[in-house]
Structure 1
Amino acid sequence: MADYADDSRRAPSRWGYGTERLPTALDELAGPESGNIELPLHLAWSGLRVFALGDVKLLIGLYRIILNNGSRDDFVRYLNRGHLVRHWPVLRKMLGRGVREPWEEAFPELRRSSAV
């Protein structure tokens, strides 16, 4: 029987949020600054699929969906660096630890934006 007391030998969870999903730099986030975004079904399979970036509540909802369910390609395509940093203090409260911590560990500027 395997001893899993040592986490370094434990297989990664298929539900985990691995850092390989993250962009290498926030500058890679090339999503639009304005207009509307229509999410594909793999991200928004029920409910609202079109989000107006000019509506802060919709923008935050959109980013929450993408951060929770997206892949690296989705992050780069739909997220905008400026919006992410600006709204991170609110977003981080809406994200589980498994999403929030990898982003803040990889990008300390997100953690700093929350401290302001």
Structure 2
Amino acid sequence: MTDFEPDWAGADDTRTTLISGLRSAGTVDDDIVAALSLPGVPDWLLSHPFQVIGDLDELKQGGTSVEVPEKWRAGLPYRIEVDAHQQLLLFYERVLTFGTRDEQRALINRGYLVEHWPDLAREVHPVVVSVWERRFPGLRR
């Protein structure tokens, strides 16, 4: 049997390097980099930085359903009706966490997001929620 000693200093250096790279590349918004720099942010989130739109008015309005693109479809139907609350929450969780700004604009309904934010905020990672709520204080309740 081999004793295993984790290299915590090395892991911390890697994390610091990733965050520095995000800052210097300028491809991730400063508030998102700051949120990803907080202690306890999981590696999977740090290694795949999320995006957030700049204004809630960028989101689509109205509609009774959303067509789910293939990349988001795992466990979801081709089309989700707005009254299919649990399916829509799962879909929005994915788009808020992994979607680009363009995908968020095309797929997220502003009215639904605002109305159901408390439910979404319980499903989405807290770091993602914190950035959305800082940018759009009206989401907080």
Same fold by TM-score greater than 0.5 = yes
The SS at the match of 1:10 is: helix
Match of 1:39 in 2: 68
Match of 2:52 in 1: 22
Which of the residues 120, 128, 135 maps onto 1:91? 120
Q: Percent identity?
A: 30
Match of 1:57 in 2: 86
Q: How many residues align?
A: 103
Q: Which has the higher contact order (CA 8 A, sep 6+)?
A: 1
Query: 2: distance between equivalents of 1:38 and 1:85?
Result: 20
Q: Deviations over 1:50-92 (max 9, x none)?
A: 2111222222222122212211111101111111111001110
Structure 1 contact 43–70 (Cα < 8 Å) conserved: no
| Gap change, CA 1:51 and 1:90, over 3 Å in 2 | same
Structure 1 contact 33–83 (Cα < 8 Å) conserved: no
Query: Structure 1: 5+ residue runs without aligned partners?
Result: none
Structure 1 contact 38–51 (Cα < 8 Å) conserved: yes
Residue 76 of structure 2 is aligned to residue 48 of structure 1: yes
What residue identity is the alignment partner of 1:27?
A: D
Match of 1:110 in 2: 139
TM-score by length of 1: 0.73
Structure in which a larger fraction of residues adopt helix: 2
Query: Structure 2: 5+ residue runs without aligned partners?
Result: 1-12, 23-45
Q: Deviations over 1:8-55 (max 9, x none)?
A: x722244222xxx22211011015431x322112222x2213211122
The SS at the match of 2:83 is: coil
